[in-house]
């Protein structure tokens, strides 16, 4: 049986509010109580009544001063960001110009929530370019790709085949970037629209760097750049010839696991190791 609590009598309103808070009353919803049972009964009665017939009124002609606007083409509105990206990326004649174009690009909303633009790291003259999905928290803070735990693992993987992103010799160096230069909030998976808006920039990035090989780290990077629907389990360990506008011939791409995935699934490191050995064989490097 519910027991009605007497209304406290306080002359001090502060004491009254403290009493309410101690009793668990911390939110004012309405000035007067609402009988929810009566509201539900009225809604049921209204639903049971037949709907009135719509009045047959003649259509109102458009005002000459306010003509009816034609609907915008859905396809054009949906790809505005990608179209702008293609134009701005194509106009970049150097890596510095491409970075400036990305910094000025407003076609991806991720720019508004990220701390920094994460462009690239390493030696652009390196024979191999590694491309991941998107920056994480550490990358967003430092403005460099692959500097967190997954980046540390990537550096160790590179060392096993004789590569170092900061090597003085270009033949021993590596160049690293991402499909998206801005961190998605909460490290969520990028949307198709976000990828479409940023893809022209990474394509132009490849054309400017002219790497001998591209290694795609993870499913998002592989599927986005290669325009494939298969998951990384099927794509990894295989070479793909990907045509890039601005290059005389397609670039050879190898898909493999993302280091962040390897941290969650250590048993897959064996497969990734085979992929890196395949890359080492292509490069002709020695440990």
pLDDT for 231-274, tens place per residue? 999 999 999 999 999 999 999 999 999 999 999 999 999 999 99
pLDDT at 284: 86
pLDDT at 22: 67
Cα 153 from Cα 258, distance rounded (Å): 10
Q: Using CB atoms within 10 Å of the CB of residue 89, give its burial: 0 to 12 exposed, 13 to 18 middle, 19+ buried.
A: buried
- Give the full edge-to-edge strand order of the sheet including 121-122: 121-122, 175-178, 128-132, 213-217, 251-256, 239-242
pLDDT range class, residue 17, cuts 50, 70, 90: confident
Cα 248 from Cα 231, distance rounded (Å): 29
- Classify the C-alpha dihedral 220-222-227-229 as positive or negative: negative
pLDDT for 223-234, tens place per residue? 999 999 999 999
pLDDT range class, residue 48, cuts 50, 70, 90: low
Query: Where are the chain's structural domains?
Result: 80-283
Question: What does DSSP say about strands 251-256 and 239-242: parallel, antiparallel, or unpaired?
Answer: antiparallel
pLDDT at 126: 97
Answer yes or no: CATH 3.40.470.10 is held by domain 80-283: yes
Q: Are 139 and 118 in contact, with CB atoms under 8 Å apart?
A: yes
Q: How many residues does the chain have?
A: 287
pTM of the model: 0.72
Range scoring the smallest mean pLDDT among 21-30, 88-97, 232-241: 21-30
């Amino acid at each position: 049986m519910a027991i009605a609590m007497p209304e406290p009598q306080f002359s001090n309103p502060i004491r009254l509010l403290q009493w309410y808070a101690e009793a668990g009353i911390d939110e004012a919803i309405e000035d007067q109580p609402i009988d929810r049972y009566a509201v539900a009964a009225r809604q049921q009665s209204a639903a049971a009544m037949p709907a009135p017939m719509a009045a047959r009124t003649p259509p109102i002609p458009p005002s000459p001063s306010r003509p009816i606007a034609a609907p915008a083409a859905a396809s054009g509105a949906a790809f505005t960001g990608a179209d702008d990206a293609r134009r701005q990326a194509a106009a970049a004649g150097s890596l510095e110009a491409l970075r400036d174009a990305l910094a000025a690009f407003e076609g991806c909303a991720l720019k508004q929530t990220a701390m920094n633009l994460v462009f690239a790291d390493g030696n652009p003259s390196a024979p191999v370019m590694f491309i991941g999905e998107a920056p994480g928290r550490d990358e967003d803070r430092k403005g460099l790709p692959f500097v967190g735990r997954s980046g540390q693992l990537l550096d160790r993987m590179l060392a096993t085949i004789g590569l170092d992103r900061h090597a003085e010799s270009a033949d021993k160096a590596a160049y690293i970037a991402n499909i998206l230069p801005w961190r998605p909030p909460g490290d969520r998976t990028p949307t198709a629209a976000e990828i479409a808006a940023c893809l022209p920039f990474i394509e132009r990035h490849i054309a400017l760097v002219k790497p001998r090989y591209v290694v795609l780290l993870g499913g998002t990077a592989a599927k986005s750049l290669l325009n494939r629907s298969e998951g990384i389990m099927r794509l990894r360990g295989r070479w793909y010839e990907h045509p890039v506008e601005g290059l005389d011939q397609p670039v050879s791409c190898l898909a493999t696991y993302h280091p962040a995935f390897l941290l969650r699934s250590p048993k897959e490191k064996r497969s990734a190791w085979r992929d890196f050995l395949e890359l080492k064989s292509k490069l002709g490097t020695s440990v």
